């Protein structure tokens, strides 16, 4: 260590040759808030000199960056890797190619399936990668007690993560249970207490006034859920680092951009939150946020500060996020600060090489803890009610993750309640895939657009049970069994055949395929979907399905334990009781 430092000092002085010299470029200096010419001298993965005088010096490699700009590596301040469907190291490669050097990930999804084992897998799979992935300790596993999760994390688990990975777990992941915080529930306060002195990420959609005061008081110091200027301004004023989110579903960046001023830019950062494979491939990662930010009128140097230095400061990452002596040599070469077209990425002083992104860990064994042979068409039978009643139905709201709690007359055939494609009414089922209980919750959904066959998925927030929708019990059983046998993932079945599938064998959430392979599988699924769907159906049924089992988003949801009236925060039956006294 000290020997290394002595060598680096000698390189800085010019007494020994550098590993790498970036010559002739202009540096986006996020510390000085300006752009200026300088040569960057790199050794041992560290910037050893910011040479303003362009001294002649020996270097093993010289990169001519004349006419180009050098940025620090970009930072995604909050995201769930699982949403990319990529194995963590595959995601890291795709992000790094797009200029990302640091990711603050919340492995909340895999934690709901595998608990600590899942978080430790994510850490192991990304240990030592050129791109640095930090993992926040998930704070809300399980999300509720109205569903069967694969695991739970309590305050002692969080303390263990923080203690075991002091360099890689900066703090507590987004604290979604904001009502619990505001009202001082012991369980969540224990978790906050376990993370005292570390960074605590917030999640406070629509929260304002004294509720927001109380929430922030208790510890959370960031938020990525603002959707309006008014909401974000209050959070900014009250001390939250405001993460401008640009996810695949949630596009908040441009709406919030006018809030950024030179005087407060240090309180902002970018977050992709949930980014799906086609979005990542087509639009990019933090580079996409930068393009949008500049297009929205944010000064380019401020935008780069928000993508680099400022999140590193927030998350306490020492000497990361700027190009200066002693800081890590994460260098992104761009043509300009508008297109952010990337012509080179160096992480820790080394040009990107896909071979350096090999997996570091063995993926966990299959998490499909249910017997496919026990899933049959009969599993999905819904007997007609004894007397004529209205049926509670999840009503899909296009483009949103909320549902409407509709009350509709059932369609009954041969004593069974069945799907009714004419009314865009499909059967919905959620099967416990964690405990082997055989538990299955049944219900109906309107507006999904499926008119033939069935589809199954193991991506179903937050417990990620096996969710199946369809108009035909045979195809529902077929899709479900295939999903189990392939270790989880997406399946589309129709007319007794599996039409398309994508295995997500890592916890039922992530694939071991490349992004290119994922995109092809996605195309296959889209084709199959068109074959079983109405013309006006939502284009991505798996995304819609993924929120139908999430019992914290209003109004009506379905878990393996049955329907949930989210507004009342309790289970409810399928049938509306009339004449209540």
Residues 37-76 that bind its own copies (CB under 8 A): 38, 41, 46, 48-53, 55
35 binding its own copies? (CB under 8 A): no
Q: Choose which of 305, 446, 463, 544 interacts with its own copies (CB under 8 A).
A: 305
Shortest spacing between CB 107 and its own copies, in angstroms: 25
101 binding its own copies? (CB under 8 A): no
Q: Between residue 228 and residue 247, which ones bind its own copies under the rule CB under 8 A?
A: 233-234, 236-239
CB contact at 8 A, 464 and 441: no
Q: How far apart are CA 277 and CA 257, in angstroms?
A: 25
CB contact at 8 A, 129 and 105: no
Instruction: Please spell the DSSP secondary structure of 400-424, one letter per residue.
Output: -S-EEEEEEPPPEETTEE--BGGGT
Q: Which uninterrupted H or E stretch holds 529?
A: helix 515-532
Kindly tell me the burial class for residue 534, based on how many C-beta atoms sit within 10 Å of its own C-beta (0-12, 13-18, 19 or more): middle
Shortest spacing between CB 5 and its own copies, in angstroms: 6
139 binding its own copies? (CB under 8 A): no
Q: How far apart are CA 149 and CA 142, in angstroms?
A: 6
325 binding its own copies? (CB under 8 A): yes
List, in sequence order, every residue forming a beta bridge with 133; answer none if it has no partner. 103
36 binding its own copies? (CB under 8 A): yes
The encoded tokens of residue 512 equal 């071991």
Shortest spacing between CB 4 and its own copies, in angstroms: 11
Q: Choose which of 23, 168, 266, 381 interacts with its own copies (CB under 8 A).
A: 266
Shortest spacing between CB 307 and its own copies, in angstroms: 14
Q: How far apart are CA 543 and CA 61, in angstroms?
A: 47
What ranges make up the beta strands (E) of 236-377? 241-245, 268-271, 331-334, 342-347, 350-351
264 binding its own copies? (CB under 8 A): yes
Q: How far apart are CA 332 and CA 317, in angstroms?
A: 18
Tell me which residue of 433, 447, 471 sits closest to 545, measured CA to CA. Answer: 447
The encoded tokens of residue 101 equal 């050097």
List, in sequence order, every residue forming a beta bridge with 383; answer none if it has no partner. 416
Shortest spacing between CB 331 and its own copies, in angstroms: 15
Q: Between residue 283 and residue 302, which ones bind its own copies under the rule CB under 8 A?
A: 299, 301-302
Q: Between residue 176 and residue 195, which ones bind its own copies under the rule CB under 8 A?
A: 181-184, 186, 189-190, 193
Q: Between residue 404 and residue 433, which ones bind its own copies under the rule CB under 8 A?
A: none
16 binding its own copies? (CB under 8 A): no
Q: Choose which of 16, 26, 31, 524 interacts with its own copies (CB under 8 A).
A: 31
Residue that the structure tokens 């002596």 belong to: 325
List the Cα angle 472/477/478 in 5-degree steps: 95
9 binding its own copies? (CB under 8 A): yes
Query: How crowded is the C-beta side of 86, counted as CA atoms within 13 Å?
Result: 29
Q: Determine the interface stretch with its own copies among 263-271, 283-291, 423-431, 484-492 (rule: CB under 8 A).
A: 263-271
Q: Determine the interface stretch with its own copies among 78-86, 320-328, 470-478, 570-578 (rule: CB under 8 A).
A: 320-328
Q: Choose which of 62, 159, 214, 416 interacts with its own copies (CB under 8 A).
A: 214
213 binding its own copies? (CB under 8 A): yes
Q: How far apart are CA 157 and CA 160, in angstroms?
A: 5
507 binding its own copies? (CB under 8 A): no
Nearer to its own copies, 214 or 351 (CB): 214
Nearer to its own copies, 189 or 576 (CB): 189
| 418 cis-preceded (ω within 30 degrees of 0) | no
Nearer to its own copies, 55 or 530 (CB): 55
Residue 217 phi, psi dihedral angles, 5° rounding: -50, -40
Q: Choose which of 56, 128, 209, 578 interacts with its own copies (CB under 8 A).
A: 209
Q: Choose which of 324, 337, 471, 545 interacts with its own copies (CB under 8 A).
A: 324
Instruction: Please spell the DSSP secondary structure of 176-199, one letter per residue.
Output: --HHHHHTT-HHHHHHHHHTTTSE
Q: Determine the interface stretch with its own copies among 73-81, 143-151, 215-223, 407-415 (rule: CB under 8 A).
A: 215-223
């Amino acid at each position: 260590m000290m020997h290394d430092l002595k060598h680096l000092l000698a390189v800085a002085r010019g007494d020994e040759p550098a590993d790498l010299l970036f010559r002739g470029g202009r540096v986006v200096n996020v510390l000085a808030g300006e752009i200026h010419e300088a040569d960057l001298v790199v050794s041992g993965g560290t910037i050893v000199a910011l040479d303003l005088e362009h001294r002649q010096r020996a270097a093993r490699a010289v990169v001519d960056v004349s006419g180009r700009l050098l940025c620090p590596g970009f930072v995604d301040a909050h995201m769930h890797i699982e949403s990319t469907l990529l194995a963590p190291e595959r995601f890291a490669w795709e992000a790094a190619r797009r200029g990302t050097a640091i990711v603050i990930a919340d492995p909340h999804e895999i934690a709901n399936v595998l608990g600590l084992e899942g978080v430790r897998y994510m850490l192991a799979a990304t240990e030592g990668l050129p791109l640095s992935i930090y993992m926040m300790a998930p704070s809300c596993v399980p999300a509720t007690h109205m569903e069967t999760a694969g695991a739970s994390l309590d305050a002692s688990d969080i303390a263990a993560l923080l203690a075991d990975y002091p360099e890689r777990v900066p703090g507590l992941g987004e604290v979604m249970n904001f009502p619990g915080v505001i009202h001082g529930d012991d369980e969540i306060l224990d978790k906050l207490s376990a993370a005292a002195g570390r960074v605590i990420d917030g999640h406070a959609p629509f929260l304002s006034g004294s509720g927001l005061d109380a929430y922030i008081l208790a510890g959370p110091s960031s938020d990525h859920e603002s959707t309006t200027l008014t909401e974000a301004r209050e959070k900014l004023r009250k001390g939250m680092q405001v993460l401008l989110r640009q996810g695949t579903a949630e596009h908040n960046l441009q709406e919030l951009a006018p809030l950024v001023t030179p005087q407060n830019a240090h309180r902002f950062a970018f977050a992709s939150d949930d980014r799906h494979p086609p979005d990542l491939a087509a639009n990019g990662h933090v580079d996409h946020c930068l393009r949008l930010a500049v297009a929205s009128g944010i000064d380019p140097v401020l935008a780069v500060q928000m993508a680099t230095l400022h999140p590193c400061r927030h998350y306490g990452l020492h000497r990361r996020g700027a190009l200066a002596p002693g800081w890590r040599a994460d260098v992104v070469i761009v043509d300009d600060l508008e297109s952010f077209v990337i012509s080179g990425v160096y992480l820790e002083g080394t040009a990107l090489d896909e071979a350096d992104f090999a997996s570091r860990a063995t993926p966990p064994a299959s998490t499909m803890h249910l017997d496919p042979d026990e899933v049959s068409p009969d599993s999905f039978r819904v007997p007609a009610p004894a007397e004529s009643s209205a049926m509670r139905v999840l009503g899909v709201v296009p483009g949103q993750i909320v549902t409407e709690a509709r009350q509709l007359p059932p369609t009954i055939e041969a004593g069974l309640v069945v799907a009714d494609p004419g009314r865009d009414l499909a059967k919905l089922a959620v099967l416990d895939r964690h405990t082997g209980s055989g538990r299955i919750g049944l219900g109906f959904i309107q507006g999904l657009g499926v008119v033939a066959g069935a589809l199954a998925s193991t991506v179903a927030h937050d417990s990620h049970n096996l969710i199946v929708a369809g108009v035909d019990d045979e195809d529902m059983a077929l899709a479900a069994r295939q999903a189990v046998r392939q270790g989880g993932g997406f399946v589309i079945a129709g007319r007794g055949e599996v039409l398309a599938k994508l295995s997500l064998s890592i916890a039922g959430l992530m694939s071991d395929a490349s992004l290119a392979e994922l995109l092809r599988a996605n195309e296959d699924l889209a084709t199959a979907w068109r074959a079983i769907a109405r013309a006006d159906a939502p284009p991505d049924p798996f995304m819609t399905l993924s929120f139908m089992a999430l019992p914290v988003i209003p109004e009506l949801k379905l878990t393996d334990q049955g329907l949930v009236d989210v507004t009342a925060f309790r289970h409810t039956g399928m049938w509306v009781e009339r004449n209540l006294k």
